[in-house]
A and B are shown apart, each in its own frame.
Chain A
Amino acid sequence: MATVKPTDIAKLAHLARIAVSEEQAADVADRITEVLNLVDQLQEADTDGVEPMAHPLDTAQRLRADQVTETDQREAFQAIAPAVEDGLYLVPRVIDE
């Protein structure tokens, strides 16, 4: 049986960029363990020689010609951004002065 421990949650939370407080970690670990116990039934299936199925119709992704088809809509896109300046998206400083 898969068991996710509260200590594993910190790593997962970091990978997913989701903050989980220490108080929540035990509860989150329990809930995720329940889901993993549900999906553990998969291990009983005999899948020797079975190809993984990624797409319901087993077709490959269509490719398009490498041509510009979109028009410039920067203003429309930036109008819905939380913080912009001079056409740039603003985030907290990443590189120290």
Chain B
Amino acid sequence: MHDQTMAQLAQALQRGDFSSVELTRHYLDRIQRLDSTYNSFITVTETQALQQAAEADRRLAQGDAPALCGIPLAHKDLFCTDGVRTSCGSKMLDNFVPPYSATLVNNLQTAGAVMLGKTNMDEFAMGSSNETSYYGPVKNPWAVDCVPGGSSGGSAAAVAARLTPGATASDTGGSIRQPAALCGLTGLKPTYGRVSRWGMIAFASSLDQAGTLTRTAEDSALLLNTMASFDPKDSTSVDQPVEDYTAQLSQPLRGLKIGLPKEYFGPGLHPETAAAVDAAVKVYTDLGASVQEISLPHSHLAVPVYYVIGPAECSANLSRFDGVRYGYRCDDPADLMDLYQRSRSEGFGEEVKRRILVGTYALSAGFYDAYYSKAQKVRRLIQQDFIDAFKQVDVIMGPTSPSPAFALGAKSQDPVAMYLEDIYTIATNLAGLPALSVPCGLVDNKPVGLQIIGNYFAEARLLNVAHQFQQETDFHARTAPGID
């Protein structure tokens, strides 16, 4: 069963080829048997999963069940799940059992999807390798001595190891797309505001967006159909009707205008990754698309802007963790200040503390204009580059990540080297644009990704462009060596 896509599994469930309980049991068995190698799950919710599957089977038997009814899924461990520990990869929330579920979790549950468990992640989604997790690093199923990418590394490894047909994830600077690229998956970050952030533990609120990690673009469209919604409880949720993201998948690409930003193909890009991206672009021209070089002249400033705005927003968001109302509290505090300081110092890991301190610096008196205000101005210049580009082209293509997966430990002592992992993905978060990554080749026997960026709310078009590529290529269908 686990060799099938979510779309195939959904049809099989509707036909009654097997039950959701059988399917769920199959994935739970795989997790139990195989995940000690990958460490992709923090919590497995076996009892609830089998209950939800039995309920899904009842709905399926009645005959009018939604498309995702009975499909097992894993949730990144920053989406609150009522009654199920939600750790955000942090000691700070190791004991946190939320009294409510995130809107997107509710949306999926209402549609009959089954939760297998909660996936590992970089602590508070701050990282590009899944090495900052309190629960230990995740291993890449394609090469277990390598990272799966991050921060949604657990969701990506779980799908790549076929421990779940799909997973939810979040992307603040590339946290869906980079792990998708490094694990050979399709990863979609929708337009900012398309999927509700309510119940998603906040990192940088003007950048955070929830999305999908799946094997195919078709599966991503199926998930987005249910995850996306207008949510009055998220003040930045966009009040716009949710499309049927599967409707345009089969549309031919003749006449599609593709822009290749020259800044995304400069020094720093692994030559074989570049070759894989070039070959992917050739697939599109064979399908009748046209290609032109474009320029996004402020691209080199995206990482610097991000490492002001991200930490600034993180330092504000994470101020709520005070050791008083929920989460970790230090032993025997001497006074209130000691309670705050030690709870936070002991509860947060090194990278999270570093970003809180950088953000505090950037927002502090005397530095606000030079850092935060300046970064917000350059952010607008970056957005304007994209607005200008989309006057000429329909989609923008380039590499997702500069290189294939790197060895565990290779960058964990060098924050700036780690930050440059996201050099091609961060700008779309700053601009709020949708983007996805599709597998487009292997370099050193490890997957690499093609990034496709679309205009605001062009998710259906992006998924169409990705789906047509997956009709012509089989990179998305390949399984990591050793996965049966």
Residue of A nearest to B239 (CB): A62
Report which of A13, A40, A45 forms a contact with B378, defined as CB distance below 8 A: A45
Q: Does A82 contact B (CB under 8 A)?
A: yes
Taking CB atoms, residues of chain B closer than 8 Å to A16 are 315, 344, 356-357, 360
Q: Report which residue of A17, A50, A59 has the largest number of chain B beta carbons within 10 angstroms of its beta carbon.
A: A17
Q: Is the CB of A47 within 8 A of B381?
A: yes
Q: Does A79 have its Cβ within 8 Å of any Cβ on chain B?
A: yes
Residue of B nearest to A16 (CB): B360
Q: B419 and A38: CB pair below 8 A? A: yes
In the bound complex, do residue A57 and residue B383 qualify as a contact, i.e. CB atoms below 8 Å apart?
no
Q: Is the interface of B mostly helix, strand, loop or mixed?
A: helix
B324 touches A91 (CB 8 A): yes
Scan A5-20; emit 1 where CB is below 8 A from any B CB, else 0: 0000100110111111
- In the bound complex, what is the Cα–Cα distance between A77 and B96 (angstroms)? 11
B336-A94 in contact (CB<8A): yes
The SS class assigned to the A binding surface is loop
Q: Is the Cβ of B377 less than 8 Å from the Cβ of A18?
A: no
Contact of B99 among A18, A20, A73 (CB under 8 A): A73
Identify which of residues 353-402 in chain B touch chain A, using a CB-to-CB cut-off of 8 Å: 353-354, 356-358, 360-362, 364, 370-371, 373-381, 383
Contact status B360-A39, CB under 8 Å: no
Q: Does A67 contact B (CB under 8 A)?
A: no
Chain B residues with CB under 8 Å of A34's CB are 415-416
Kindly state the separation between the CA atoms of A24 and B98 in the bound complex, as whole angstroms. Answer: 34
- Identify the closest chain A residue to B300 (Cβ): A41
The answer to whether A91 and B336 touch (CB under 8 A), given A56-B192, A80-B97, is yes
Contact residues, B334-351 vs A (CB, 8 A): 334-342, 344-345, 348
Residues of B within 8 A of A91 (CB): 324, 336, 339
User: Does A19 lie within 8 Å of B378, measured CB to CB?
Assistant: no
CB atoms of A39 and B340 under 8 A apart? no
Which residues of chain B come closer than 8 Å to A73, judged between CB atoms?
Answer: 99
A73 to B300, CA, bound (A): 48
In the complex, the number of residue pairs spanning A and B with C-beta atoms less than 8 Å apart equals 166
- Knowing A19-B345, A82-B323, A92-B338 are in contact, say whether A35-B307 is a contact too (CB < 8 A): yes
Give min CB distance, B103 to chain A, whole Å.
Answer: 15
Known A18-B353, A45-B381, A54-B206: A36·B432 in contact at CB below 8 Å: no
A28 and B354 contact, CB distance less than 8 A: yes
Contact string against B for A residues 46-66, beta-carbon threshold 8 Å, 1 for contact and 0 otherwise: 010011111111010110100
Tell me the residues in window 434-484 of chain B with beta carbons closer than 8 Å to chain A beta carbons: 456
A61 B307 Cβ-Cβ under 8 A:
no
Residues of A within 8 A of B206 (CB): 54-56
The 3 closest A-B pairs by CB, nearest first: A56-B432, A52-B376, A82-B329
Can you list 28 A-B pairs with a CB-CB distance of less than 8 A? A12-B361, A12-B364, A18-B357, A19-B344, A32-B354, A34-B415, A35-B358, A35-B416, A36-B358, A38-B304, A38-B307, A39-B308, A42-B374, A45-B381, A47-B374, A52-B373, A52-B376, A53-B383, A56-B383, A56-B432, A57-B238, A57-B432, A62-B235, A80-B96, A80-B97, A92-B334, A92-B338, A94-B336
Given contacts A42-B305, A77-B326, 14 further A-B contacts (CB under 8 A): A28-B357, A35-B311, A41-B300, A42-B304, A51-B380, A52-B373, A53-B376, A55-B236, A56-B432, A57-B192, A81-B324, A81-B326, A82-B323, A82-B324
